[in-house]
């Protein structure tokens, strides 16, 4: 099954963001980033879920913005009516204003297609 998600305008730019339900607590948005190796969420989300961020698997993440310390956890998220357990990292040093869904783990559940001209993201569940 394929689901369509229109890009969302964020500060004048259209981004491939999707609404996600985190745990059963609240809805937020995350950008689907095929250039990101790992999913990275704002630390406030981990705190809202009651996660002690520093108890996760610690590692250093290096990217365009430099190096930050991250802590990996598995959390339940839902996109539309699909529920998955996603490997997500949290960091107190994460300065971006949006959550990121990266390749490692999230892309294992879905085939992802971006249509820049139509400003649409298409997600298709993988056959098991």
Q: What is the pLDDT of residue 26?
A: 85
Give domain limits for the chain. 19-112
Q: Which residues pair with 76 in a beta bridge?
A: 85
62: confidence class by pLDDT, cuts 50, 70, 90: confident
Q: Which residues pair with 111 in a beta bridge?
A: 124
pLDDT tens string 3-25: 999 999 988 999 999 999 998 88
CA distance 37 to 87: 11
pLDDT tens string 80-114: 999 999 999 999 988 788 999 999 889 999 999 99
Q: Which residues contact 112 (CB under 8 A, 6 or more apart)?
A: 32, 34, 121, 122, 123
CATH of 19-112, one of 2.40.70.10, 3.20.20.80, 3.40.50.720, 3.40.50.10860: 2.40.70.10
pLDDT tens string 37-56: 999 999 999 999 999 999 99
**CA angle 59-43-15, nearest 5°?**
95
Contact present, 14 and 8 (Cβ < 8 Å): yes
Length of the chain as a residue count: 128
pLDDT average, residue stretch 29-35:
95
Q: Are strands 66-79 and 13-15 parallel, antiparallel or unpaired?
A: unpaired
Round the CA-based radius of gyration of the chain to a whole number and report it.
Answer: 14
């Amino acid at each position: 099954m394929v689901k369509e998600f229109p890009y969302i305008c964020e500060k004048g730019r259209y981004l491939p963001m999707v609404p996600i339900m985190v745990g059963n607590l609240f809805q937020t948005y995350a950008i689907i980033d095929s250039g990101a190796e790992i999913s990275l969420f704002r630390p406030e989300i981990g705190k809202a879920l009651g996660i002690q961020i520093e108890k996760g698997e610690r590692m250093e993440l290096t990217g365009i913005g430099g190096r930050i310390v991250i802590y990996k956890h598995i959390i339940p998220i839902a996109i539309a009516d699909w529920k998955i357990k996603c490997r997500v990292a949290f960091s107190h040093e994460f300065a971006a204003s949006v959550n990121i869904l990266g390749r490692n783990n999230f892309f294992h559940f879905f085939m992802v297609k971006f249509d820049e001209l139509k400003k649409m993201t298409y997600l298709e569940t993988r056959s098991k």
